[in-house]
Amino acid sequence: MQVWLEPLIKIVLVVLATQAAVAYLVLVERKVAAYMQDRLGPNRVGPWGLFQPIADGAKFILKEELIPAGADRALFLIAPVSILAAATLAFATIPFGYLVPWPGADPIELTIAPKVDIGLLFVFAIGSLGVYGVILGGWASNNKYSLLGGLRSSAQLVSYEIPLGLSVIGVLLFSGSLRLETIITAQAQSGWWWFAVQPLGFLVFMVSGCAEASRLPFDLPECEQELVGGYHTEYTAMKFGMFAFAEYLHLITVAFLTVNLYLGGWHLWGLAPYADEVGWFGAIVRVLVLNIKMLLVILFFMWIRWSWPRFRYDQLMNIAWKVMIPLGVINLLVCAVCQEFLDPKNYLTRAVLGWLAVGGCVLYAALFAHPGKTRLKAPGIT
């Protein structure tokens, strides 16, 4: 009986928590935007605008649902559902804590599907299914702007999956596992967070993750000046709400992965005595540490959003194929050399080598690269 009860409780917990988090992340985003632009932000509904998400939700539900004439009705409806389903399913192997003691039984791991040997690969696999919602939404709308937006952003998502996958191989090499729990444990045991050891991989992962979550420097899907609303131009009410929900779920996923892969997960040096303790205090502290780190990463992404202008489409593709993939390969090379020739405990030398690689890349960019000379290249015009 308990075999299915335990995952069920965890599923309900995670789904409810992520839905609530998404609702309030919208408010946080608006508040951060207001702060960056010296405004007040939403402050009408409840104290400090705290009930704004409820008002937004009611508005999503009560607005008129439109399906454009000539749209493919089935696919038009399936698109937002599929993207939201894929975004939610990705949380199955992401740990949101470590161990919680349970009287009379083994301690419970705070992951929906613990000990799945392919943890990280599962997240990537499910994440790669999110493209379908984008493509279908664009095609089924029977609108040229939507189609172009769908094609453009699905090309972006497919392209940035490659540097995203490349960047984490270094982490897998050092941790020796695809399981996110083991990756965190490896960082806790060594006392080094992987971002300090592989700064290049961390950079590539952050940039690609930002692009995968369609955050602002990479948010071409809804580049209003060019394509109205991109693939969700024709979507209204809750169907649009599902697209927006999925976008924020992607943001949370990327933040969780960043924390678990590069920022030590639940590990914090001052709390080292509690790292291996299986007690209620340790369990709660670990959950808090992990989730606060996750929130800080999200705030960092929001900070980027209001600090950087949007890339042009050719620049975006050039960054993926000509900058991020080579950087990922260099990171992989450095990590492989370290793993092969260095003592397994010698993290200081690894970190020095990693930062030297960053320095080398910066030097190369300063001396030989000409970022100002990239031009739009279309077939027929050389």
Q: Which parts of this chain interact with another protein (CB under 8 A)?
A: 4, 75, 113-118, 121-122, 124-126, 128-129, 131-132, 135-136, 139, 147, 151, 154-155, 158, 161, 177-178, 375-376, 378-382
Helices (H), the chain: 2-36, 52-62, 73-89, 119-128, 130-140, 144-175, 180-190, 194-197, 199-212, 224-227, 237-262, 280-305, 313-318, 325-341, 347-368
Nearer to another protein, 4 or 368 (CB): 4
Tokens of 144: 């040229």
Minimum CB separation from another protein for residue 124, in Å?
6
Nearest Cα residue to 238 out of 35, 13, 9, 66: 66
The least CB distance from residue 135 to another protein, in Å, is 5
Beta-ladder partners of 99: 109
Nearer to another protein, 74 or 363 (CB): 74
Question: Smaller CB distance to another protein: residue 146 or 291?
Answer: 146
Element (H, E) at 99: strand 99-100
Nearer to another protein, 231 or 245 (CB): 231
Checking DSSP bridges between strand 108-109 and strand 99-100, what pairing results, if any?
A: antiparallel
Evaluate the CA torsion angle 196, 198, 203, 209 in order and state its sign. negative
CB of 140 to another protein, least distance (A): 9
Q: SS3 of 108, please?
A: strand
> Closest distance between another protein and the C-beta of residue 174, in Å?
15
**Whole-angstrom distance, CA of residue 246 vs CA of residue 237:** 15
What is the H or E stretch that residue 100 is in? strand 99-100
Task: Assess contact for 184 and 97: CB atoms under 8 A.
Answer: no
Residue identified by tokens 């040096």 is: 269
Minimum CB distance to another protein smaller for 124 or for 243: 124
Q: How far is the CB of 260 from another protein (least distance, A)?
A: 17
Report, in Å, the least distance between residue 378 CB and another protein: 7
Nearer to another protein, 119 or 264 (CB): 119
**Can you read off the two tokens belonging to residue 246?**
């999925």
34 vs 129, which CB is nearer to another protein? 129
For another protein, give the closer residue by CB, 69 or 376: 376
List of residues 6+ apart from 179 with CB closer than 8 A: 93, 115, 116, 117, 119, 120
CB closer to another protein, 111 vs 331 = 111
Using a 10 angstrom Cβ sphere, with 0-12 exposed, 13-18 middle and 19 or more buried, the burial of residue 104 is: exposed
**Shortest spacing between CB 246 and another protein, in angstroms:** 16
